């Protein structure tokens, strides 16, 4: 199988995440050093496969110094022309864009394509695999919400940044007897909020998986006040929602991108200020969580994924995503990875640990 491959493509899709360049580097190094293949970078995600196509030859020189560099040298695009959804187990997609991309993959002489991306990009990859494009996925996202893998690269870095922010906000909260709200990313999953909240010693964590009652969060703030601790830290996932209520969006999105979450922390802070009469301040971390150099762990994970993706191609294991499971590298059918997102199970051990430590989720059980 490996002998028929001579030239592969690699692209990065969706939001940027620390470690993208480290994956590209590992793909290029493994493909060129171990197998003697050529590697072609596709620019701006799948969009680079449309029209005249936008590509970049990638060799050892092109990837020198990339390991610690944030962002992606290939550029990336959210969804773009490649709208997809899975309805009743069937892929619904923008056919003309997919047909054009598949024709261009052939025209470029690519024997396989490595797709580095989150759930959206892997759904596109899955759709292309159904059109007989030999694809292998690499799981990226700071949200860690991709099914099929314990970990996506980028998450560890985002977690570190969020935790450091919480640490820094502690000093102001304590000095001024304030309630500090930290809104973190994560889309519809609470992994960043949960883990940074535990690591940063938050008092309340609000996640999408546990609908919250603002009165319960306020009660926690007042309980602490009664114990002589006049400040609190509340970590709010951008996708958190009140019991019986809805997520808060900044906009409705468009045909080429999903609606943008954001603003929930401001809403809860207003409510808690009203109930507690305390000085409540909000910090929205936003894209800081995705920027800059990856942690050592993310560099390691990204390198493993890049190498594993090329080896999967060499072994003809197409329509799969490389993944991390129980400290090991595995491959999982793309079909399994794109059915649902991986949210935090309400009985997850870390939720129990957090409650043991006195952290409230302000949910029904708190
Ligand atoms: O999926 C990664 C992520 O950073 C989410 O946490 C966030 O909701 C979204 O992307 C923001 O996307 P954009 O940068 O396109 O606004």
At residue 2, the pLDDT reads 45
Ligand 1 atom, smallest distance to 187 CA: 8
Pocket test for ligand 1, best of 20, 76, 185 (most atoms within 8 A of CB): 185
| Structural domains of the chain sorted by starting position, each given as residue range(s) with its CATH number in brackets | 2-153+294-325 (3.40.50.450), 158-290+345-356 (3.40.50.460)
At residue 255, the pLDDT reads 78
pLDDT tens digits, one per residue of 65-75: 999 999 999 99
Q: List pocket residues of ligand 1, CB cut-off 6 Å.
A: 15, 78, 118, 141-143, 185-187, 238, 260-261, 290
Tokens of 254: 């468009």
Residue 290 pLDDT more than 80?
yes
Distance 16 CA to ligand 1 centre (A): 9
Shortest-distance Cα residue to atom 14 of ligand 1: 15
Burial of 50 (C-beta count, 10 Å sphere; 0-12/13-18/19+): middle
Shortest-distance Cα residue to atom 16 of ligand 1: 260
At residue 1, the pLDDT reads 44
Residue 142 pLDDT more than 80?
yes
Residue 84 pLDDT more than 90?
no
In the DSSP assignment, the letter for residue 249 is: B
| Distance separating alpha carbons of residues 178 and 290, to the nearest angstrom | 27
| 300 three-class SS | helix
Provide the 10 A C-beta neighbour count for residue 175. 9
Distance 224 CA to ligand 1 centre (A): 33
pLDDT tier for residue 274 given thresholds of 50, 70 and 90: very high
Ligand 1 atom, smallest distance to 185 CA: 6
Q: Mean pLDDT over residues 57-61, rounded?
A: 97
Of 2-6, 20-24, 217-221, the range with the lowest mean pLDDT is 2-6
Q: Mean pLDDT over residues 321-336, rounded?
A: 97
At residue 3, the pLDDT reads 61
At residue 56, the pLDDT reads 97
CA distances from 34 to 9, 28, 87, 273, 310 (A): 16, 10, 40, 60, 9
- Active site residues per annotation: 143
Residue 149 pLDDT more than 80?
yes
């Amino acid at each position: 199988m490996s002998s028929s491959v001579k030239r592969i493509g690699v692209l990065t899709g969706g939001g940027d995440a620390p470690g993208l360049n480290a994956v590209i580097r590992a793909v290029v190094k493994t493909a060129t050093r171990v197998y003697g293949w050529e590697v072609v970078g596709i620019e701006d995600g799948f969009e680079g496969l449309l029209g005249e196509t936008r590509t970049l030859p990638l060799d050892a020189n092109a990837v020198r110094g990339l390991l610690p560099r944030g962002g992606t040298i290939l550029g990336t695009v959210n969804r773009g022309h490649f709208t997809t959804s899975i309805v009743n187990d069937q892929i619904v997609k923008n056919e003309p864009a997919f047909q054009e991309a598949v024709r261009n993959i052939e025209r470029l002489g690519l024997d396989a394509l490595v797709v580095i991306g989150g759930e959206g990009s892997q759904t596109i990859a899955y759709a292309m695999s159904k059109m007989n494009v030999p694809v292998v996925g690499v799981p990226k996202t700071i949200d860690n919400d991709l099914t099929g893998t314990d970990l996506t690269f980028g998450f560890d870095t985002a977690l570190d940044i969020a935790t450091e922010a919480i640490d820094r906000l502690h000093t102001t909260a304590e000095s001024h007897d304030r309630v500090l709200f930290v809104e973190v990313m994560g889309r519809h999953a609470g992994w960043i909020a949960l883990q940074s909240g535990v690591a940063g010693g938050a008092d309340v964590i609000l996640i999408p998986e546990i609908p919250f009652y603002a009165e319960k969060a306020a009660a926690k703030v007042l309980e602490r006040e009664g114990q002589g601790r006049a400040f609190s830290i509340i970590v709010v996932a951008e996708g958190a929602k009140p019991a019986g209520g809805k997520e808060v969006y900044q906009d409705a999105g468009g045909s080429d991108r999903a609606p943008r979450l954001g603003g929930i922390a401001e809403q809860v802070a207003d409510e808690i200020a009203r109930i507690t009469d305390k000085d409540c301040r909000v910090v929205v971390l936003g894209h800081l969580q995705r920027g800059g150099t990856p942690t050592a762990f993310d560099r390691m994970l990204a390198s493993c994924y890049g190498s594993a993706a090329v080896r999967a191609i060499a072994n003809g294991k197409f329509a799969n995503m490389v993944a991390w499971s129980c400290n090991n590298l595995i491959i999982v059918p793309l079909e399994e990875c794109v059915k649902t997102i991986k949210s935090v199970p309400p009985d997850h051990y870390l939720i129990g640990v957090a409650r043991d430590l006195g952290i409230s989720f302000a949910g029904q059980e708190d």
